[in-house]
Structure formats: C-alpha cells, structure tokens
Amino acid sequence: MHRFFKTDFFNFEFIRILSTAQYGGCETGEALKAASLIKDADPETWSEAWFTQAKHAEGLAEEAARSGDVPSARAAYLRAANYFRASQFMLNNRPPREDERVIPRLEKSRELFRKGVELLDDAKAYPLSIPIDDGVEIPGYLYVPVTPAKEDGGHPLLINLTGGDSTQEEMFVVTAAAGPARGYAVLTFDGPGQGILLKKNKLAMKPNYEVITSQVIDYISRTESDPKTSHGIDLDRIAVVGASMGAYFALRSAVDARIKACISLDPPYDMWDLAVSRMPGWFIGGWSSGWISDGAFNNLVSVLSKFNFQFKWEIQHMQWMFGADSPADAMRGLKTFTLKSPGGGEHVSNIKCPVLVSGAAGSMYFDPKLNSQKIYDALGHLPDEKKRHWLSDQVEDGGLQAKVGAFWVSNYRMFAWCDQHLGVKRNPFL
C-alpha cells in the first residue's frame, strides 16, 4: 500500500481524512496540499496545514453561498468542518498544558457542519438535544430521507455511534451520509467522552455505553409517538453501527431488545489487552501486581512520550476520555472497557439480534484473532444466519482499522446486512 507518511499514526490519520472524499468530507487536491505542508510526527505542522485548508474551504463555501450555488456551498461547508476537526485532533487539551486552539476549532467545525447539512438535498437534518442522566443533554442529529418510506411503518433507523476519538460530525462523512439515499433515517450523537462533550464539557466516557444508547432510543421513541414531532421512523426496525471503539459500543448497546440488527466494525474485545501491548510486559506486570508504583509508571510514560508522539497522544487522549488525573489512572480505566461480564461469562451472549462483526488484518490496534474472532466465537448462541464474521486483509476491502480507506465498501456491506434483517426490499436491475 502507498504511504503518505513514514509513521503509521500520521499515515493512518491522513488516509482517514482522505477516505471521507466519497461522502463530501475531503477534496483530494486540498488533502494533498495539506500533506505537502506536514512534517511527519509533528503535531504543529499537522494542525496548521489542516487549519489552512479549513479556511480555504470555508472561503469557497461563503463565495458559493453569496452566488446562490447550493451544491457547492454545501460541499465546501462540509469539507471545512472536517478540516477544522482535523486541525485540533493532534493538539493537547489536558491541564496543565491546555491548547487554547482546540475548543474554538472544534466549535467552528460544528458551526460549519450545521450550515452544510442545512443544505442537504436528499435528507432533512434535525439537530437534537437528548436528555440523559444527571440533567445532561447530549447533541445529536437525525437525518431523514426527503422521499417517502417505501415500506409501511416508516423509515428504518440506523443509529451511528461515535468512536473513541471521533465526532458525530465526522460520522456523517463516514457513514451517515450514505443512509438517506437508501431510504434509511440515521441518528448520530456525541456521548460523554466524545466530541464537544469531551473537549469542552470534560464529561468522561462511560464503559456501560448501552445505558446512553438506550436513553437515546427512549428519546426518539417519545418524539415518534407524538404526531407533532414524529419524523416517520419505524421503531420496529432499528439497527446500530459503530467502528473501532464505536464498534465496542455497538456490541454493548445491542443487548437492548429494540435493536434489531448490529454492525460492529473492527471492535476491541478488552481494552486492557491494548494497554498491555503498548508497554513492556515486565513493567505492566510489575505495576499491575503493585511492585511498581504509580509514580514510577507515570515517570516511564513521560520518558517514552518524548520519543514517540503516537504513544504520547494515546496516553493524553485516554486521560481525557476517562477524566483521569494521571497516566496510571487512565491505564487502570481501560480495565473497565471489556466485553467480559462481571463474574464471568460474555456480554455479547445477551445479544438476540443479528450481528455482523468485522476484523481488519491491518489494524493498528486490534488483532482480529484476539478481538473480532473472539467476539464472533462468543456469539455461539446465535444461529449461523444471524451472525457473520467479515475479515478483511486488503485495504480496498476494509483491511485497515475502522475500515479507513474503504468506507464505500463498508457501507455497502453494512446496509446489505441491515436490508436483510430489517426487511428492506430492493428491486434488482441487472
């Protein structure tokens, strides 16, 4: 596979942005220009290169808006939003070195995204404010096709879960944009530990994410039960999808009986396994057993971070997600993100709906043998027709983590699974 950068981290993240061109999140020329300005493993040049392209795309959007060119304005607003997101991605927002660029750029991304989706021609975008526990309201979007539903009962609903380092705005140019043309309504949201709720509100991620998803379904069920607020959603045909960490959330969420299909793209089985792979085995073992103190652990992390930016970024992001004060606390937090049930057993054994789980042979994080295959094996209670393991070993077929580089293929397979298990009928034309 061709590489744009020598380091795996920068190369992967660049391809991640480039891959969104299929659904309007990127223009190839703009991405190549940004790549030419980025020094490998240098977060400053990454940030400023994408900030430059964000301002460029925003200028084009405003120019098109002034001339009344709706398609061009929509496309440029969506690209600008994605570039502003990318421009803050590598920056630190943890005390005591909070980067003051992070929140303004993320807010700008959200602002321009809203301008873009207000101009959609195949769907109506409805901004949502969804109440969850403790008086918190989480931001979401519901995208409803403008064409009438083909089946009685309304449009099937796909709930597209955000991952560990993404935003719901990015989810649109990865998956959600592909739904309305197929007759699907799509719902996205940022939960605690994600998007603006993480960077600005400092809300930590919850390992029992199924609680959040169920509250989202409660909300949409209430709105659909009222003729004044209904959007024509068929609540008997709900599917959930997520990629990477979002795939883990999808599996946790699929225990809700209202979910009739689950798509889990390249999930982890147990996040502690990732922690073990990131540190010397003898050191992790000594620390876990108490022979090595938290102070020594934190000091080693500080030293390793000076030589490996990816490692530094991952540790900092874990501290953000879990609301941890130290690397040691963040690492311990990973132990709570597992598909093992307390006291033994498997969380996924409680799933009753059909499950498509995938693995990526080229994953930077989750070896399919230790993750997706293990999850598939734990679905032994489901009949063969209600489960499938899709293992990708080629980049064009989804061989990279979260199906980066193959979003079109991923969506094709995902919606085919939804069609099959939600009773969506299509007419062959070949």
Q: How many residues in the chain? A: 430
Residue positions annotated with a catalytic role: 244
The pTM (predicted TM-score) of the whole model is: 0.97
> Which residue has 């033994």 as its token pair?
344
- The class level of CATH for 123-270+337-423 reads alpha beta
Query: pLDDT value at position 131?
Result: 97
In b/e form, how buried is each residue of 371-386, taking b as 16+ CB within 10 angstroms? bbbbbbebbeebeeeb
Query: pLDDT value at position 53?
Result: 98
Decide: helix, strand or coil at residue 100. Answer: coil
Going from the C-alpha of 228 to that of each of 152, 222, 231, 376, 384, the distances in angstroms are: 19, 11, 9, 42, 42
Query: pLDDT value at position 425?
Result: 93
- Residue 189 phi, psi (nearest 5): -165, 160
* DSSP-derived secondary structure letter, 38: P
| Sequence-distant (≥ 6) Cβ neighbours of residue 177 within 8 angstroms | 23, 24
**Residue ranges of the chain with per-residue pLDDT less than 70:** 93-96
**β-bridge pairing 155-161 and 259-265:** unpaired
Going from the C-alpha of 49 to that of each of 3, 23, 83, 308, 309, the distances in angstroms are: 18, 21, 9, 21, 18
CATH 3.40.50.1820 residue spans of the chain: 123-270+337-423
Query: pLDDT value at position 151?
Result: 82
Q: Does domain 1-119 have CATH number 1.20.1440.110?
A: yes
Query: pLDDT value at position 96?
Result: 67
Query: pLDDT value at position 95?
Result: 65
CATH 1.20.1440.110 residue spans of the chain: 1-119
| Sequence-distant (≥ 6) Cβ neighbours of residue 119 within 8 angstroms | 70, 73, 74, 77
Which of 381, 370, 378, 376 has the alpha carbon at shortest distance from 356?
A: 376
Query: pLDDT value at position 195?
Result: 96
